[in-house]
Amino acid sequence: MIDARLTILENLRIAPNVNILRYEAPKEYKNIRAGQFVEIKSWGLHFPFLRRPMSVFEYEEKYFSVMIKIAGEGTRQMYEAKAGDKHFVLGPLGKPFNTDEGEEFSVLLGAGVGAAPMLLLEKELKKKTKSFQTFLAAQTKNELVSDFFTESIISTDDGSAGFHGNILQCFEANRKNFQKKKIKIYACGPLAFLKAAQEYALKNKIHCELSLETTMGCGFGICMGCAVEASDKKIYDSEFKGMYLACLDGPCIDARKIKL
């Protein structure tokens, strides 16, 4: 991982509140994995103060990108950034998705900005000749980034495109298509969605890996601010007790290991 001042090559406005920022890619990003993130700062020491963690969306040799949905002052400033601006970017960070777990079929659930790690994940699964289906969801049609994906099943909360309902309902509606396969779910999105995905996976005994959504301080393990509780022993019998750190033990982590 390195910290570098990187130039913005392009700011693609997807919606009035969603954009893709493409940065020049340092050579150190060559082996970046799906599910890893970067910590970005483009402001002074007033407010915002800390960096913001963003999953990496695209990686090509010359650039990588992050996906932003405006949620506050930091993301608002990142939405308004211009090509040519330079941002401090620390990365790649975190534990990526584990694509070596022997499932027959992968289900990618990218809710809202949770779509971010799914593009690289598709790439990795394709390389390993693993079959998969990507589901993408947004509140409304214009926030979808499905154009970046070759074939995704989409859903919108307001029904403006695709399935009318949330991503899990959409998955349930399509479930019959992968009935007899040993499935693994990869889930990324807002905390409420992660909780629902975790509950769904545990209830249906489906293996599931989550990309955690937490407040982060440093993003690389020195502040211990991004703690996530380990689950009760009756859910997952591991020796580990206490707190995981989302930036070191995650963000990608087995859904059974944690209490959300």
Partner 1 sequence: MNEIKNIGVDLGRGLKPKNRVLVASGTFAYGKEASPLLDLKKLGGIVTKAISKEPRFGNKPERIVEVTGGLLNAIGLQNVGMKKFVLEKLPFLRETGASIIVNVVGWKIQDFVDVVKFLNDYKGIDGYEINLSCPNVEELGATFCDDSRTVKKITSALRKTTKRHLMIKLSPNTNRISNEAKIAEGEGADSLSVINTVVAMAVNVWNRKPKIKNITGGLSGPAIKPIALAKVYECYKAVKIPIVGIGGMMNTQDVFEFFLAGAQAVQIGTANFIYPDISEKIADEIPEFAGKLKVEDLKKYIGSLQT
| Interaction site with partner 1 (CB under 8 A) | 1-3, 41, 45-51, 88, 90, 214-215, 217-218, 220-229, 241-243, 248
Instruction: Please say which residue, 79 or 244, places its beta carbon nearer to partner 1.
Output: 244
Instruction: Please say which residue, 15 or 70, places its beta carbon nearer to partner 1.
Output: 70
Q: In the complex, what is the shortest distance from the CB of residue 50 to partner 1, in angstroms, rounded to a whole number? A: 5
Q: In the complex, what is the shortest distance from the CB of residue 3 to partner 1, in angstroms, rounded to a whole number? A: 6
Which residues have a Cβ under 8 Å from the Cβ of 147 and sit 6 or more positions away?
none
Q: In the complex, what is the shortest distance from the CB of residue 245 to partner 1, in angstroms, rounded to a whole number? A: 9
Instruction: Please say which residue, 12 or 223, places its beta carbon nearer to partner 1.
Output: 223
Q: In the complex, what is the shortest distance from the CB of residue 82 to partner 1, in angstroms, rounded to a whole number? A: 22
Which residues have a Cβ under 8 Å from the Cβ of 87 and sit 6 or more positions away?
5, 6, 8, 23, 40, 41, 42, 81
Instruction: Please say which residue, 2 or 83, places its beta carbon nearer to partner 1.
Output: 2
Q: In the complex, what is the shortest distance from the CB of residue 106 to partner 1, in angstroms, rounded to a whole number? A: 29
Whether 194 and 206 have beta carbons less than 8 Å apart is answered as no
Whether the bond between 117 and the residue before it is cis, its omega within 30 degrees of 0, is: no
Two structure tokens written together for 10:
């392009």
Instruction: Please say which residue, 151 or 237, places its beta carbon nearer to partner 1.
Output: 237
Distance CA 97, CA 117 (A): 9
Distance CA 81, CA 178 (A): 42
Two structure tokens written together for 131:
């079959």
Residues in the chain: 260
